[in-house]
Structure 1
């Protein structure tokens, strides 16, 4: 305990120095003058509590961490892992079918707000699965993934505004444009690893955002692009009136009264289809040689090169394919929102997507899906703590890394054990 005393005092002082100016002082404006006033008693109580918590945590660090180490971590799927491979394939098949069927039926029994939130969750699922290729499978730290998201969104917005292309035509184009940018990003980072790679990708993400912000004549700059067309179903629109000549209205074709919730449900089901497509493609890629090459690069790049693998092609394929799924998500995001601006693609979005991958488990598709649900739904549940959202987010990540650093559902690779004679 004496060995930790100096460190505990130092940590408490740093906590006070950081928290007091930010929370304990308020800048008050009155006409043309400004003054600094102290916060209320409740805020000072919170500051004192935070300082005390940091002090005692550092003072009794060893004992507290010993308690955390004795907390059992859930062994998810222990019985499942003991099944033979043929049974596993059958269980996965029927579980997937049941889950997709439930996802399709679910929106017809819940409120419109719940469907909107679920659609947002599915967008983050697509983004998390795409980044999982780069970070989780290939082991390449990417802090600028939101740039590909922005490329997909602006591709559809610009194609729709200037060329009148529909969502279904622009969707593959948006994915291809994002993949092209991922391919171009792959070249400068071929020789980089770790922190250096993260800095370059972070810079790339900011470059894309600033270009979109300054290209006022094309992208609208900070004003963004509005009036983006919604997706149609075989030429049927879900609005009250037809917007484009030659289309029909969904409720008139079906002979049912108009309801604005039809559009929300359609967008949700479209997001479900895109997520299912993403999961299917990534699962196939993981089982192919390119997926094994990504994992070999992640585990040991030197050993990967010694086996004769071309790391250039491996890295480029990871960046390109991962970016393509971000492009699909961005294209759908633009169609759903109807308005986009550079402020929708800031660094915090990249941080959230990366947190989803780390929280779910590097390389684990199911883990990424669960983490995307948690990261999106929990802030909506705790709306009264909206001011402290990022604080709670950081605290959750710290506790998660202490308690279960491998993630919620870490990926498990097939392995063989030799029997002892």
Structure 2
């Protein structure tokens, strides 16, 4: 609590007119009282003072969990998809906008999950591929008037090519060395985007990017096809929903394929995997390029959604945020990454009234997670079984 006071004082107590202690202390004593109450409850629970309540509650929760696990996974998938499709008709514009942002980060988190969660490579510069995809679509849309649907795979290919170039030079590195190289690559990309005025317009960014479009059958004057721009927020929501569904299916299939098993073998022990005959260099390079492709597609949609891109949108903080989603949700787990994205994007919007303390709470929650549940909120089942055996 003393350390918390030291952190809160610069945040609240430093005013233009001088130092203030009263405002910091008025908040600090409430937090201290709450933490003391939680500590007392925890100690009482550890000696069994609440067994009369926790035992039947635990049995009830276990019964609900067994009933939920007994239900076929197809039912859950259909129920979630039905809710996702009906979401724009149930909530307003603000909720739709938050959902769109969440799904963009779901795509980014799943792409990084291939690199970090499956292949076990620490990537601190993943946001560079997000920027490459966004600028690829921006330049092709503004300069050559190419459709979004054609630019979507092109953006993924450009991001994958960038990953191939940097990965070919760095995939023989491991651990912190690889993280430093990827971080440097992200900064190089950001500086190039910020200074190449003739191509990217520098810090001013690129404007007038076209939204996604589609042809719709028109029966007013016979049977013709009318081109419409998907500028309405509901249409944009369904576009990113389709992109999320595609990403989830692709990552799931990769995870349960032979190449996915090879990635997991490299993650657990790269030397043993190489001895068993896995070409570790090219397998890691494939994981790096695959994750970059998903980031490039998310970047193309981001450019189409905002219709404006600038280098300020692709900073290291964004890379750290995406990596936090993967770690918080559970590395290698698709539902975990989705839950991590919801936790880090949707929850701050819900607690917007506490904007001053959001990052402080975020740091505290991440610290507690790493102490008490380092495997994440929803770790993959195979890793949970391995941990139980250990």
Determine whether 1:266 maps to 2:255. no
Indicate conservation of the 8 Å contact 1:294/1:318, yes or no: yes
Q: Is the 8 A contact 1:135 1:141 kept in 2?
A: yes
Match of 1:214 in 2: 195
Query: Using a 3 Å threshold, how does the CA distance of structure 1 residues 197 and 80 change in structure 2: closer, same or farther?
Result: farther
Aligned to 1:351: 320
Task: From 25, 39, 61, give the equivalent of 2:14.
Answer: 25
Cα deviation per residue 1:365-409 (whole Å; 9 max; x = unaligned)? 011111111211111111111122211111111122223221111
Q: What is the aligned counterpart of 2:280 among 311, 323, 328? A: 311
User: Is the aligned partner of 1:196 residue 2:180?
Assistant: no
The reply on whether 1:291 has 2:278 as its aligned counterpart is no
Look up the match of 1:102.
83
Task: Kindly indicate whether residue 381 of structure 2 is the aligned counterpart of residue 412 of structure 1.
Answer: yes
Say whether residues 1:133 and 2:120 are aligned partners.
no
Q: Is the 8 A contact 1:140 1:193 kept in 2?
A: yes
Question: Out of 352, 358, 361, which is 1:392 matched to?
Answer: 361
1:408 aligned counterpart, secondary structure: coil
Structure 1 CA distance for aligned equivalents of residues 358 and 204 of structure 2: 27
**Aligned mates of 2:211, 2:284 — CA distance in 1:** 35
Work out which of the residue numbers 211, 214, 218 in structure 2 matches 1:230.
Answer: 211
Change (3 A) 1:15 1:115: closer
What SS class does the counterpart of residue 406 from structure 1 fall into?
Answer: coil
Deviation at 1:79, TM superposition (A): 3.1
* Contact 1:148–1:327 (Cα < 8 Å) also in 2: yes
Shift of residue 168, structure 1, vs aligned partner: 0.9
Corresponding position of 1:79 = 66
Q: How much does 1:207 deviate?
A: 1.3
Unaligned stretches of 5+ in structure 2? Answer: 218-224
2:221 corresponds to which residue?
none
Q: Deviations over 1:208-262 (max 9, x none)?
A: 11111111221111111111100012279xxxxxxxxx96447xxxxxxxxx9x7
- Residue 309 of structure 1 aligns to a residue whose secondary structure is coil
The alpha-carbon deviation at position 105 of structure 1 amounts to 2.0
Distance (Å, rounded) in 2 between the aligned partners of 1:388 and 1:350: 21
Q: CA deviation at 1:39?
A: 3.1
CA distance, structure 1, for counterparts of residue 371 and residue 276 of structure 2: 35
Instruction: Kindly tell me the number of residue pairs found equivalent between the two proteins.
Output: 366
Uncovered stretches (5+) of structure 1, i.e. residues with no partner: 1-10, 29-35, 237-245, 251-259
Contact in 1 for aligned 2:12/2:24 (Cα 8 Å): yes
Q: 1:113 to 1:197 in 2, by over 3 A?
A: same
Instruction: Quote the Cα distance in structure 2 between the aligned partners of 1:193 and 1:75.
Output: 41
CA distance in 2, matches of 1:77, 1:187: 49
Structure-2 change in CA distance of 1:107 and 1:19 (3 Å): closer
